[in-house]
Chain A
Amino acid sequence: MYDFLTGPMLWLTFAVSFGGLLVRIVLYIKGLDQQLDRVAYRAHMGYGLKGAFNSIISFLNPVGARLWRIRPGFTLMFFVFHIGIVVTPIFLIAHNVMLQENLGISLPALPTCVADILTWAAVVAGLLLTLRRVAFPEVRILTTGYDYLMMVITLAPFVTGLLARYGIGDYQFWLTAHIITGEIWLLSLPFTKLSHVVLFFMSRAQLGMDYGIKRGGMKGSSLSW
């Protein structure tokens, strides 16, 4: 079971997940229409790319956009959550050991205590973000069961990973659960709202190009986000 999940199943998961995300990017670009979107992508590529870059960087930086600066509490939860769920799986020492065994390469590994903190922080931030959905009427009205499902899919590998790491109960059970939920999470990326892992960049770039080309960029006035 373990061998299957960390062998063929893992490779299949990677192929579907990363391949699928690539397809999403290609389909997004193919679906651009300068007349319907009202952005002259090709004619002013320079201005467009500058705007796209500005837009992406502003929102990857916790103090880069006015949105982040006026909502420090949310911003903190948001960045802790995202940094935890992106950084930890890639740089975790246990994952790197697997990479080393299978491919003979490894990435720099996080010290265990840092990985622990990041994981805990991501789980707590995720729970707070979920609580926020219940607590605030302006978020509650938008929230559907699908949003909660996405949170469960995202947090499950982290929670099971922690349970396995601390050896609470049956280690083998939690390890298997961790691998299965991790693979479910990866498989969900291209097919669900989690596709925002790549589509965030596409959407931001597109609005950034809009601003960079016709909404001020060509007038030499870069609008601050």
Chain B
Amino acid sequence: MPEGILCNKTPIKTDEQLKLTLSDSRGTKYYAEMLELEVDSDALWALIQKTMKSRTKTWFEICAHCGLCANSCFLYQVNGRIPQQVPSYKIQSTLGEIVKKKGKVTNEFMRHCMDVAWSQCTCCNRCGMYCPHGIDMGVMFGYLRGLLYSQGFVPWELKIGSGMHRVYRAQMDVTTEDWVETCEWMAEETEEEWPGLEIPVDKQNADIMYTCNAREPKHYPEDVAEAAILFHVAGENWTVPSEGWEQTSLSMFAGDWECCKDNVQNVYDAIERLNPKRATGTECGHAHRATVIEGPYWTGRPDGLPPVPYIHYVEWLAEALRTGKLKIDPAKRIKEPVTLQDSCNYVRNQGLKDVTREIISYIVEPGYFVEMSPTKEHNYCCGGGGGFNGIGMYREQRNVALRTKMNQIIDTGCKLVIAPCHNCWDAIRDLEEEYEIGIRWSFLKPLIIGMLDVPEHMLPKDEE
């Protein structure tokens, strides 16, 4: 069987195919079909020749095989330092072999590559900082994922994830109507407590256009409400687009390059349509990376920048606190040891390490903030990055991966972890579920709302 009904080289493009793939519980049939999937060596080699340029070619050629990348990789450390987890080995024995054999590899080998690409690398890019030659294995694994996806060797959940983005332009089946309704519903509910609060949809020329992660309208609509409260209190002239509101990219994790471009173009189109002065996203790392850091290149923007300045939520928040748009009641500041999770996707990939600490300086009583070790750009991945969190067949490996973060948190002695990234937040929740170390974790929005010094006129009038 060259291609299966569920497992094949064609991306999911219709709602029908999406539902069919989803109905295959845990991907049982999908993975069974994968055993028979034929590798199209000619297409694979043609794709490599077209897309593999100086950087990757040279990286393979000059890797000195010195092994210094080993310790930089948390997966190597946490998996008993087995040599098979050395980053250089992981990429040479997968992508390296495919290139050496000019794409003439077997089905079994491609499945092995899939295991390595999705369960032994979270594309956290830490190794790149520790290689004397500046070889970033995370970048190469991102590339390998693209090759594997083009041949249909991709975990079931990510095939569905990128299918969701193709069909709904969101990582979950949230339609435009669902999204707009959620905004209206949240505005109505929240307005009771915050008179005058609005969630303006498709407002032209606003100062800020807000975009989020589809999980928020789907599972935590209160997050949308919290964003609205903070914009309301800060007095921002803001809006959300009815189309192009979703900034995550499971297609980036899946290696579906075509879909990556389509998603981000959808957001940029919203910017062109509504003409905001700036845009900001929610507390999510990979969404920011996809829309702001990598997205401009996918859509072919020569300056590598989005159409308007596009900041991460932590940047907006730090600015609002700095300029006094949001004021913190000193009595309500955090007075317990608290630590901060640095998300790989906006710290190591965009340098946003100081603004998060600036936020901490406003909301934590001096002396209570404890850094993880290592920290900032040297911090470790939460353990669930790069799609690892969501893939059922690699759950066991993911749970092992969580231990690095668990130990880092335990070492701080803190019971509260601030995680301004959906994925890190999930990983930390999962590690508490799995290992029960007795911690709490939070996004910034609810914490800040709880400690705001709100002007009198914004509070609801007493109904006596």
Contacts and interface: CB of A to CB of B under 8 A. Distances in A.
A34 B301 CA distance: 10
A55 B134 contact: yes
B66 interface: yes
Contact of B65 (A35, A139, A211, A213): A139
Contact of B68 (A67, A144, A222): A67
Interface residues on B, range: 35 or more
B300 A35 contact: yes
Contacts of B26: none
B366 interface: no
Contact of A38 (B72, B294, B351): B294
Interface string A7-20: 00000000000000
A142 B68 contact: no
Interface in A72-115: 74, 78
Nearest to A71: B68
Given A193-B61, A221-B354, A142 B348 contact: no
Interface in B76-123: 76, 81, 83-84, 86, 88-89, 92
B348 A203 contact: no
B65 A27 contact: no
A36 B53 contact: yes
Contacts of A33: 53-54
A217 B351 contact: yes
B53 A203 contact: no
Given A139-B67, A203-B134, A207-B136, A38 B304 contact: yes
A206 B54 CA distance: 10
Interface residues on A, range: 35 or more
B83 A199 contact: no
Interface stretch (A39-47, A118-126, A156-164, A173-181): A39-47
Nearest to A223: B377
Nearest to A198: B62
Interface string A61-73: 0000011000100
Contacts of B322: none
A40 B62 contact: no
Interface string B111-143: 000000000000000001111111110000000
B10 interface: no
Interface in B49-71: 51, 53-55, 57-59, 61-68, 70
B237 interface: no
A196 B134 CA distance: 12
Interface in A128-145: 133, 136-144
B68 A214 contact: no
B62 A200 contact: yes
9 closest A-B pairs by CB: A216-B351, A31-B54, A40-B304, A221-B351, A139-B67, A207-B134, A141-B83, A142-B65, A138-B70
Interface of A: 27-40, 42-44, 55, 59, 66-67, 71, 74, 78, 133, 136-144, 147, 193, 195-196, 199-200, 202-204, 206-208, 211, 213-217, 219-225
